[in-house]
Structure 1
Amino acid sequence: MIDKLEFIIALARERHFGHAAEACGVSQPTFSAGIKQLEDTMGVLLVERGSRFRGFTPEGERVLDWARRIVGDTRAMRQEIDALKHGLSGHIRLAAIPTALAMMSMITTPYRAQHPDVRFTIWSRNSIEVLGMLENLEIDAGLTYLDNEPLGRVQTVPLYSEQYRLLASSDSPLGDRDTVTWAEVGQVPLCLLTPDMQNRRIIEGLLRQAGSEVAPTLESDSIIVLFAHVRTGKWASVMPAKLAEALGLTEKVRAIPIVEPEVSHSIGLVVPQRNPLTPLINALVNEAKQLAPILNAAVPSGPVVAELLKPKARADG
């Protein structure tokens, strides 16, 4: 039964019978037969059939919801038994919004110091993709916004508030200012994240409130691309304060607080709404909870961020 439930989850993720079969490591006939067996067991149609995948029936949507819970709980049970036998080991899959990627190492580095047999895979995704991957059991946890768009059924650990800075050359028109307003930022040629990113939607909203339309001179889904352009001294961008410090400012590039209004959004860890959590994810949540007071104490300066990013052994181990 569990393998058939895995089929349903894969189909929801891939939206294509052939791709879902490939993801499950079976032939398409085997995959289709498995879905049919599940339908026979339930006594209802689960999938709207046609020449291609058209969606789930209402009954199929409910079975999908239960499949995610049952498969997630089954994986958690196996992992917990394995941890009792061998200690914490295994693979944690994570996804983070681009503006939070640099902060991920503040969780994973002390975690691995405590549990050296755990390995990580980290993807850069937009906020909608982070939640979708978590729902479809493609990742174990994510780092994303907590307070700007609906999260669905997740547990959250708030980590820090994202505050905004104009990154600009010191010799640019606004480069010598102690603060700038959002209205003034709207008059500067900007390079920004692509529109599918929640950070971009936040910035667009703030600029429109200030009476400016958003017309960036460059867009990218990579913070590194934006930062590299800003460092040339010929471009400006809007980035979270902690991210700007973590990436490292130069003498020529300044991070100028943006006011009128001063805005912040909560960034945090999201994990499945499951009790109990898997041992691996429970340990991850504990690391996040220990990090949160440090990050919330103040917006750290560059040396403080650099110190937080240093690999170090935990004294409480």
Structure 2
Amino acid sequence: MNLRDLHYLVALAELRHFGRAAQACHVSQPTLSMQIKKLEEEFGVSLVERAPRRVMLTPIGREIVDRARHVIHDVDQMKELARRSRDPEAGSLRLGAFPTLGPYLLPQVLPALRTRFPNMELLLNEEKSDVLVANLRDGKLDAAFLALPLSDDRLHAELLFEEPFVLAVPSGHRLAHAPHLRIGDLVDEQLLLLDDGHCLREQALDVCGLAGAHEKPGFRATSLETLRQMVALGNGVTLLPELSVRPPHVQPDGLELVRFEDPAPHRRIALAWRGSSPLDGLLRNVAATVRAAVRI
């Protein structure tokens, strides 16, 4: 048994198809099948239940795959630790961001990160917050931009900035030209919100509760761009994060942005990573670079 065989087994567990697993591992299907069979012979148990057009793990196969993932992760961490000892700021950094932040934050901070860490390769991943947290825990990401608070005490978070919300309304709305918008001005308004799983949805619902506003029933958007267009068409109002309304991002015709008086509702953005990560020192420097680059 070697590490390569464990990679084959994990790929098969994730893809549930010998052909796709072989393709993902850059080997032929007969090669992958033969190595899985050798693993079963070495362990003396069946790891995979083979059926026409279907691949399932046996109960012991699932347990061994779980342990294989930990082994692969630990070996990757050892390699990373050794490489970082030679040059702490070289190599790749797997960085995650959630969809209502990544497209607006990353273009602002990537130039600063490339200047500060010229030998570092950034591998970017965009997912909803719960997926990012799971990937951090599993070692699939080194760090992620997340909104506070975090519920996982295994993660360390460095606060980067507080991002205010602005209210997006149709041009003819009663609040379109309000000079000093207060939370209470939203009473009885129907807010257009994102679908479940987006942390911005939960943040907006918190504001709704404070303001006496309500979610518009029967509507769930999948992106900020959909929210903007629906507001511009007069279907309701919504909250947008400050970074998403700054140039070069252009608002559609028929939409007005109204800012709140201080203290404005906001979200707190942090860079988070595992507390046990060997990259702790590097990630603190990354967080400091991002903090300095963002202008709110």
How does the TM-score come out when normalised to structure 2? 0.71
CA deviations 1:182-214 (Å, max 9, x no partner) are: 783763463x43333222244346546847344
Is this contact kept in 1: 2:157–2:273, CA < 8 A?
A: yes
Q: How far apart are residue 6 of structure 1 and its match? A: 2.7
Is this contact kept in 1: 2:89–2:282, CA < 8 A?
A: no
Equivalent residue number for residue 212 of structure 1: 214
Using the alignment, how far apart are the partners of 1:268 and 1:119 within structure 2?
Answer: 21
Q: How far apart are residue 90 of structure 1 and its match? A: 4.0
Structure 1 counterpart SS, 2:64: helix
Q: Does the alignment pair 1:253 with 2:256?
A: yes
- With over 3 angstroms needed to count, the CA separation of the structure-2 counterparts of 1:208 and 1:56, relative to structure 1, is farther
Q: 1:63 aligns with which of 60, 67, 78?
A: 67
CA deviations 1:197-232 (Å, max 9, x no partner) are: 2222443465468473443657233x3454466578
- With over 3 angstroms needed to count, the CA separation of the structure-2 counterparts of 1:262 and 1:114, relative to structure 1, is closer
Using the alignment, how far apart are the partners of 2:170 and 2:137 within structure 1?
Answer: 42
Letter in 1 for 2:129: S
Q: 1:120 aligns with which of 115, 119, 122?
A: 122
Equivalent residue number for residue 298 of structure 1: none
Q: How far apart are residue 94 of structure 1 and its match? A: 2.6
CA deviations 1:227-246 (Å, max 9, x no partner) are: 46657888632122344346
- Bigger Rg, structure 1 or 2: 2
Q: 1:53 aligns with which of 49, 56, 75?
A: 56
Using the alignment, how far apart are the partners of 1:253 and 1:64 within structure 2?
Answer: 53
Equivalent residue number for residue 144 of structure 2: 142
Using the alignment, how far apart are the partners of 1:78 and 1:163 within structure 2?
Answer: 41
Q: 1:129 aligns with which of 128, 131, 150?
A: 131
Using the alignment, how far apart are the partners of 1:33 and 1:152 within structure 2?
Answer: 42
Equivalent residue number for residue 189 of structure 2: 187
Letter in 2 for 1:73: Q
Is this contact kept in 2: 1:144–1:269, CA < 8 A?
A: yes
CA deviations 1:12-45 (Å, max 9, x no partner) are: 5445554333222223443344445455556666
Using the alignment, how far apart are the partners of 1:55 and 1:208 within structure 2?
Answer: 48
When structure 1 is superposed on structure 2, of 132-141 and 109-118 the one drifting more is: 132-141
- With over 3 angstroms needed to count, the CA separation of the structure-2 counterparts of 1:289 and 1:11, relative to structure 1, is farther
Equivalent residue number for residue 76 of structure 2: 72
How does the TM-score come out when normalised to structure 1? 0.68
Aligned residues: 287
Structure 2 counterpart SS, 1:52: strand
Q: How far apart are residue 113 of structure 1 and its match? A: 0.6
Using the alignment, how far apart are the partners of 1:8 and 1:288 within structure 2?
Answer: 36
Is this contact kept in 1: 2:191–2:215, CA < 8 A?
A: no
Using the alignment, how far apart are the partners of 1:29 and 1:185 within structure 2?
Answer: 65
Identity of aligned residues (%): 23
Q: Does the alignment pair 1:283 with 2:282?
A: yes
Equivalent residue number for residue 167 of structure 2: 166
Q: How far apart are residue 112 of structure 1 and its match? A: 0.9
Is this contact kept in 1: 2:170–2:236, CA < 8 A?
A: yes
Runs of 5+ unmatched residues, structure 2? none
Letter in 2 for 1:27: S
Q: How far apart are residue 152 of structure 1 and its match? A: 7.3
- With over 3 angstroms needed to count, the CA separation of the structure-2 counterparts of 1:231 and 1:285, relative to structure 1, is farther
Is this contact kept in 1: 2:191–2:213, CA < 8 A?
A: no
Letter in 1 for 2:189: Q
Using the alignment, how far apart are the partners of 1:174 and 1:248 within structure 2?
Answer: 22
Q: How does 1:228-243 map to 2 (within 5 A)?
A: 236-243=237-244
Runs of 5+ unmatched residues, structure 1? 296-303, 306-317
Equivalent residue number for residue 106 of structure 2: 104
- With over 3 angstroms needed to count, the CA separation of the structure-2 counterparts of 1:202 and 1:73, relative to structure 1, is same
Q: How far apart are residue 103 of structure 1 and its match? A: 2.0
When structure 1 is superposed on structure 2, of 230-239 and 93-102 the one drifting more is: 230-239
